[in-house]
Structure 1
Amino acid sequence: MISLQEALDINFNLPKLTLDTQEIDIFEAQGYILAQDIYIKRALPMFDNSAMDGYAINLAYKNPKVTRTILAGQDASNITLQDNEAIRIMTGAMLPKNANAIAPFEITSLQDGILSIQKELHQGANIRKKGEEKQEGMLLAKKGQVLDFRDIGLLASQGYNKICVYQKPLIGVFSSGDEIKEVGEDALSHQIYNINAPSICAILKQYNHHYQYLGILKDNESLEEKILTASKKYQILITSGGASVGDADLLEKILLKHQANIYYHKINLKPGKPIMVAKLNQCYFFCLPGNPLSAILNLLALVIPTLQRLCNANAFYPLMLKAKCQEELNFKNNRSNIILGNYHRGIFTPHKNGKYSPSAISVFQECNSFAIFDEKFTQIHKNQEIDILLYMMSFTTK
């Protein structure tokens, strides 16, 4: 059994997946990882323009005469503001030469074509200068960046309609156990519905991964064949159940029989001790505990950040939020602990003081975040500052 920190160190040093690249339409680029650096080829803004609806003026003249209008989208590169002239101009329209301020409509009045300005303006007022946001040649998006609406908007500003990204690995998801019944089937009193697979797939989708649900692994002779077949098709397999030490927990035996590399099996962690990480036939196995709470917390805390790295994202360390712990917490047995709770306005309130069953599932609906404490913590004092993670994490390069 290894420590939580040792497990994280192993996870963040696993060999990355070898992924092909593909060109993808910008409308489909959300959540993909950029496979090249992209630079600004058109300055932002592309030209000096008006930030307001108003009048282009030169501050040297106090009561200029309004002579014409420049609309957004109009080529005004040959228009020069003459002495004592003002030009009506719309937001985003190209600035005429010699103009050094925009007087918004709200602070002006017009009589017989003569403009009066009721408020003093400074040079450059309400003007967006060429390149003030981004200059030509600047890095727009970096290889390894997970694309979202912020990056996609910038890419669109440069006219990119196709983006070179890494292909997403296909992740196979299994549940396991003879006691598990699929949702929609009739479950007897001694059977339980398949909670883990729908939850795992929902989390993978939330983090923009491609996955396929592969069904329930039964504790019989079919288990080995299904595992071996899937390991040749998928680059990542996520299982839940079957990774502990019970009589029917066969996954490790099968993997070892076929010379898999077992990176670790069991972490000194509550909940989630039985987790196993292995590799067989170029396929990574993340074998989660069967208890729903343990499985989902292991997935969020350990597997999701690892998947970010394996898929070539350059930011994969979870971004911690600082919070004050609302209650005192006490830990036993020199082990790491994951505590569910609610984060609100800088305060983290542990759910039921951290005392709930590892098979619980309803607690996720009652919480929005979790905190991880390694073995060195035996007590957290009330109002002590701690690090917490939201269910939907952001990532950083360190």
Structure 2
Amino acid sequence: MNHGCDEFDPNQLTVEQALERILETVAPVSGRERLHLRQALDRVLLEPVVATFDVPPHRNSAMDGYALRAADLGTDGTRLRVVGRSMAGAPFEGRVGAGEAVRIMTGAVVPEGADTVVMQEQTEREGDEVVIRGNHREGANIRHPGEDMRAGSTVLEAGRQLNAADVGLLASLGIAEVTVYRRPRVAFFSTGDELRGIGEPLGEGDIYDSNRYTLDALLARLPVERLDMGVIPDDLEAVRKAFREAAAVADLVLTTGGVSVGEADYIKTVLEELGQIGFWRIAMKPGKPLAFGNLGQAHFFGLPGNPVSTMATFVLFVRPALQRMMGRSPEAPLRLRARVLNDLRKSPGRKDHQRGILRQEGGELVVETTGLQGSHVLSSMSRANCFIVLPRGSGPVASGEEVEVLPFFGLL
């Protein structure tokens, strides 16, 4: 039986089943690169990083103040003779003896003989003496060797996508270069005789090719190599040629358009001829006409042509697949609960992702739709900051009910 685009098909894969099948199929790309830290941000480690020395490498002060012996502290007002100072990069060379103290700065080496640092706000300087106010425990305000990282310990696991804090950590260990997975190569193009490039005049029935720019922007958020293959006309030989060229150079081939019921079936025909189809439909709105398979060694995604569907399927399926190919574990998007402020239309059968605006109001999270929810309404996606996620088996939702939301932060 041929099910139309809006008709319920109980045999379609669920969103969860489709993602599971995708992640079972894709694997990290082969190949490695050796990169300097300045080029390593967002790249994925191929090998674990092991500390070769303790961090910090020596006892150092957590405060500006005075290093002293706890045994010298008595009642409030203890007086000690200041015999020197220890600065970051210029440590005190002597030893702190009985009745002595050393002026010390944050990060400076704690001198031999001292076992406590008293912060300067609890002291009074009088010439070459310091008066200690209050009570202080032995060992206060001292950072010990290896407190942050121990020599021989794994500090970053293989498969870690490096963030700014990781880059700083590596620098603190004196590591200038790391080994990472090479970037997956992604070839992408749009299909359709009606598509025109920006700057070209529009004839009757023509539209500008927005999806290719959207895909380029979505891919730019990931450490992948982007290969823009342009616009492919609705022509069997043109599609065949484009697929062959893309599969020869890419790890993943990404198209938009040409996968919905009623459209020219060139993509399906060529995919069956040159590769294999994993699945062609899923129980999701928007995004039902999602194709997944392979073209030789390259993975293939055929995304719907409607702009909102393109973005939804990229976020939920292509992004996690690329994360796996990058060498890391796919990151499950953050999901929250919020009270919806308007009625939501919904029919059972497909998992629905409606565009919403999430905000905090009176100490709680609330969400409302952006208006028209058609998969062609690009402005509703531009105004949104989240998806309102409605389960496959659910029906309409009344204002005031609690719903699941998927924020766009970091995704679009």
Q: Is the 8 A contact 1:64 1:115 kept in 2?
A: yes
Report the equivalent of 1:245: 261
Residues 36 and 386 (structure 1), Cα distance of their counterparts in 2 relative to 1, 3 Å cut: farther
Report the equivalent of 2:221: 206
Corresponding residue SS for 1:196: helix
- The 1-side partners of 2:139 and 2:107 are apart by 15
- The 1-side partners of 2:296 and 2:117 are apart by 66
Displaced runs of 4 or more, over 4 A: 379-386
Q: Tell me by how many angstroms 1:66 deviates.
A: 0.5
Q: Is the 8 A contact 1:339 1:350 kept in 2?
A: no
1:361 to 361, 364, 378: 378
Letter in 1 for 2:368: P
Letter in 2 for 1:239: T
Structure 2 residue 40 is matched with structure 1 residue 25: no
Report the equivalent of 2:318: 303
- The 1-side partners of 2:113 and 2:80 are apart by 13
Q: Tell me by how many angstroms 1:249 deviates.
A: 3.9
Q: Tell me by how many angstroms 1:143 deviates.
A: 0.8
Corresponding residue SS for 2:171: helix
Residues 372 and 310 (structure 1), Cα distance of their counterparts in 2 relative to 1, 3 Å cut: farther
Letter in 1 for 2:190: S
Corresponding residue SS for 1:121: coil
Report the equivalent of 2:407: 390
Q: Tell me by how many angstroms 1:264 deviates.
A: 0.5
Deviations 1:183-208 (A, max 9, x none): 12222342111111111111111133
- The 2-side partners of 1:52 and 1:333 are apart by 62
Corresponding residue SS for 1:213: strand
- The 2-side partners of 1:124 and 1:381 are apart by 60
Report the equivalent of 1:70: 86
Superposition RMSD on alpha carbons, in Å? 2.0
Report the equivalent of 1:85: 100
1:1-398 pair list within 5 angstroms? 1-61=12-72, 62-76=78-92, 79-220=94-235, 221-258=237-274, 260-314=275-329, 316-327=330-341, 328-345=343-360, 347-352=365-370, 355-380=372-397, 384-393=401-410
- The 2-side partners of 1:299 and 1:391 are apart by 12
- The 2-side partners of 1:156 and 1:163 are apart by 11
Q: How many residues get paired?
A: 390
Corresponding residue SS for 1:64: strand
TM-score under structure 1 normalisation? 0.92
Report the equivalent of 2:6: none
- The 2-side partners of 1:389 and 1:210 are apart by 27
Deviations 1:162-197 (A, max 9, x none): 100000111111011111111122223421111111
- The 2-side partners of 1:318 and 1:309 are apart by 12
